[in-house]
Amino acid sequence: MHGITEILVSTQTKFQKMDIVRSGAFGTCLILDDKMQASSIDEFIYHETLVHPVMLTHPNPQTVLVIGGGEGATLREVLRHKSVEKAVMVDIDDQVIEQCRKHLPTWNQGAFDDRRSIVVSTDARKYLEDTDEVFDVIITDLSEPVEEGPAYLLYTREFYQMALGRLSPKGTLSLQAGTAAIPYLLNFSAVYQTLKSVFPVVAPYQTFVPSFGLPWGFAIASKSLDPRTFSESTVNAMISERISANLSYYDGLTHQGMFGVPKHLRKELDASKIIIEDNHPLFTYH
């Protein structure tokens, strides 16, 4: 799909295969386990989609946990919210963080060095097990659940139960849930059903990420708050009041489109009976 003009990094870390390359059409790209994670041309679409709806769903997010997101762009978007006092980023792979800091500095834009940031290189599940800290927002920016990869146990019901226990009373969680393309809906539908088995409110949504070549699925889960209730004008007002940057992709109208999940997709998500569990993980191969 992508013509590679230069290979900046190609290595096997302790946890996954990592490539940072320059492509002809999409600029610099981060690839983990041979799956596109983001490109410099359109990473803003993915990261604004993942971060801002869940942050605005919470009325006053002060403490945020980012799981994964080694390139620093998710952390960057979190820190654009004026209310944030502390943002903890936990990524298991310090080599990914190191190489992204070196080769993709425009992606984090100083987020790693922000006084509100705490960056921890450890297993996120162990981190949640060991901490008694409570967060207003948890964002999981993980690679897909590839067999023997580092992320597959962070998509299970047991993990989401753990995350629920670390959320404040109005706490919200967001994640990328895999492609929303018709032939490959197994991951999205299973993640949706697994979240529904834990959280009272689960709102699936989607957007198109050009460098992925596919529509991409996301979900917000919470104890009571639902982003689907927000009007276009409400979202625009919250953006103006709460975010200290000009966004390139997300606004009130975009919000309506993302959560306006089409009929065929709603049907597939609701029809799934798969619950992902520690003893019954789900792996993606497409």
> Which CATH number characterizes residue 128's domain?
3.40.50.150
**Could you tell me if residue 18 is inside a domain?**
no
- The range of the structural domain enclosing residue 171 comes to 41-271
- pLDDT tens per residue, range 120-174: 999 999 999 999 999 999 999 987 665 555 567 888 999 999 999 999 999 999 9
pTM of the model: 0.94
Find the catalytic residue in 19, 33, 136, 141: 141
CA distance 195 to 270: 12
**Could you tell me if residue 277 is inside a domain?**
no
Task: State whether residue 14 is helix, strand or coil.
Answer: coil
**Could you tell me if residue 2 is inside a domain?**
no
Q: Give strand pairing partners of 151.
A: none
Judge residue 255's burial from the number of C-beta atoms within 10 Å of its C-beta, 0-12 exposed, 13-18 middle, 19 or more buried.
buried
**Could you tell me if residue 168 is inside a domain?**
yes
**Could you tell me if residue 229 is inside a domain?**
yes
Q: Is 141 a catalytic residue?
A: yes
**Could you tell me if residue 4 is inside a domain?**
no
pLDDT of residue 278: 83
How many domains in the chain?
1
Q: What are φ and ψ of residue 35, in 5° steps? A: -115, 130
- pLDDT tens per residue, range 54-89: 999 999 999 999 999 999 999 999 999 999 999 999
